Amino acid sequence: MRFLAWREVRHAPVRFGLIAGLVALTAFLVFVLTGLTVGLGAADVSGLQRLPVDGIVYAKGAADDLSRSELPATDERLIAGVPGVTGVRPIGFTMAALAKGQNSVPTALLAMKDVDGGVVLDNQARGKGLNAGDTVTVQPGNLPLKITGFADLGSIQHSAVAYLPLADWQRLHHTQGVSAYAVSTSDDAALAAIARVATDTDPVTKAAAIDAVPGYQAETGTIGMIRSFLYAGAALLIGVVFWILTLQKEGPLAVLRATGASRRLLIGAYVTQVLATAVAGVVVGALAGVAMGVVMPPGVFVLPPGEVVTAGALLLVVALVGAAASVRRLFTADPLLSLGRTA
């Protein structure tokens, strides 16, 4: 069957090259959208993803939004006393800009008690006019802070995360309260228990907190829907192309049937051709997608190897599903056509 499949490919390289090119174009679009989905999603929520906690306790009515949440410092003792809670970290949050002279970097300020004096910036803020040891001004608020270093902190709402002491954040906001509490638990029921003990709170899991970040669901959902349409379009495109290709070779199929070619032989040769063209197209599309990531702005396009493998496997499955519509034509070609019958 492989001999039959490759013989036809060698005799019609342009035809199968064009099919592989169509698959490559579709695969390229899928990989680009996959990279944008992962990259934009990470730019929105990676700062929360990297917090070593199990849940976030917001103020009731804040709609799981750190910017709208405010809780009193006295809630820390109530939450810490709930059975199953193994750790409580009060956090402050605000979107701000760190300014030094003419340079201004938008940041997502995350304040915690265990941060030493000064501010630690995410690595993506490097090369923007800010260096370790510089004194910057938080705007709005005109609070001076010293940059103590850089680390891999992630980003929130497409702004680099900056860690700072909770006391400095409270001074900036003229408050003794906090935005929320990050909690670690050993019991899934602990979050529900927190709401009963501290009635002004709305505890949610870390996953729910990430999903609630403004714009995250809209961005990833929209791009994910477009990617789904591309998969459907790939199945339709490949199905139509191989359907036409099968119709065009009805004569050779009739000869094969007249000479006693088995169904297994015909199906094997057909599937080999589909996989060969699909694999070639997916590989070319993947390489083009990775190359696109090199020229894209940092923090926007992320294409992990696992996502490449998953998307490539889905495209191959889609190619086989789309081409399956033509399988029946392999067995309906009239063997008498090989003798010159035309009707």
**Three-class DSSP category at 274:** helix
CA distance 214 to 127: 28
- For residues 237 and 329, membership in a common domain is answered with yes
- pLDDT of residue 65 exceeding 70: yes
Q: Which helix (H) or strand (E) holds 202?
A: strand 201-205
* Residue 139 lies inside a defined structural domain of this protein: yes
Q: Are 169 and 94 in contact (CB under 8 A)?
A: yes
Q: Which of 131, 165, 199 is the last residue of a domain?
A: 199
- For residues 280 and 325, membership in a common domain is answered with yes
Burial bucket for residue 56 (CB in 10 Å: 0-12, 13-18, 19+): buried
- For residues 105 and 193, membership in a common domain is answered with yes
Cross-strand pairs, 122: 151
Percent of the chain beyond pLDDT 70?
85
DSSP letters, 2-35, are HHHHHHHHHH-HHHHHHHHHHHHHHHHHHHHHHH
Q: Which of 173, 199, 225 is the last residue of a domain?
A: 199
Q: What are the residue ranges of helices labelled H in the chain? A: 2-11, 13-49, 75-80, 166-173, 190-197, 206-211, 216-248, 250-258, 263-295, 305-323, 329-332
- For residues 174 and 224, membership in a common domain is answered with no
Residue 112 confidence (pLDDT): 92
* Residue 240 lies inside a defined structural domain of this protein: yes
CA distance 158 to 215: 10
Percent of the chain beyond pLDDT 90?
24
Cβ partners under 8 Å of residue 199, min gap 6: 60
CA distance 195 to 200: 7
- pLDDT of residue 341 exceeding 60: no
Q: For residue 220, what are the CA distances in angstroms to 36, 37, 56, 66, 205?
A: 9, 5, 22, 20, 20
Of 102-111, 185-194, 249-258, minimum mean pLDDT range: 249-258
1-57 residue pLDDT tens: 455 556 666 666 787 788 888 889 888 988 888 888 888 888 888 889 898 899 999
- For residues 129 and 236, membership in a common domain is answered with no
Instruction: Indicate the pTM of the whole model.
Output: 0.74
- For residues 7 and 107, membership in a common domain is answered with no
Considering only residues 269 and 189, tell me which one the structure prediction assigns the higher pLDDT.
Answer: 189
- For residues 40 and 93, membership in a common domain is answered with no
* Residue 59 lies inside a defined structural domain of this protein: no
Identify which of 81, 85, 110 has the alpha carbon closest to the alpha carbon of residue 95: 110
- pLDDT of residue 163 exceeding 60: yes
- pLDDT of residue 173 exceeding 60: yes
- For residues 97 and 164, membership in a common domain is answered with yes
Q: Which of 129, 164, 199 is the last residue of a domain?
A: 199
* Residue 136 lies inside a defined structural domain of this protein: yes
Cross-strand pairs, 183: 55, 88
* Residue 207 lies inside a defined structural domain of this protein: no
114-135 residue pLDDT tens: 887 789 999 888 877 788 888 8
Cβ partners under 8 Å of residue 132, min gap 6: 147, 148, 149, 150
* Residue 55 lies inside a defined structural domain of this protein: no
**Three-class DSSP category at 247:** helix
Residue 342 confidence (pLDDT): 46
Q: Are 258 and 335 in contact (CB under 8 A)?
A: yes
* Residue 261 lies inside a defined structural domain of this protein: yes
| Tally of structural domains, the chain | 2
CA distance 8 to 327: 17
The amino acid at residue 319 is A
- For residues 190 and 255, membership in a common domain is answered with no
CA distance 100 to 105: 9
Domain hosting 301: range is 2-44+216-339
Q: What is the mean pLDDT of residues 329-336?
A: 57
- For residues 154 and 262, membership in a common domain is answered with no
CA distance 318 to 329: 19
Q: Are 112 and 47 in contact (CB under 8 A)?
A: no
Average per-residue pLDDT for the chain: 83
CA distance 278 to 293: 22
At 80, is the pLDDT very low, low, confident or very high (cuts 50, 70, 90)?
A: very high
Residue 213 confidence (pLDDT): 86
DSSP letters, 49-90, are HTS--SEEEEETTSTT-GGG--B-TTHHHHHHTSTTEEEEEE
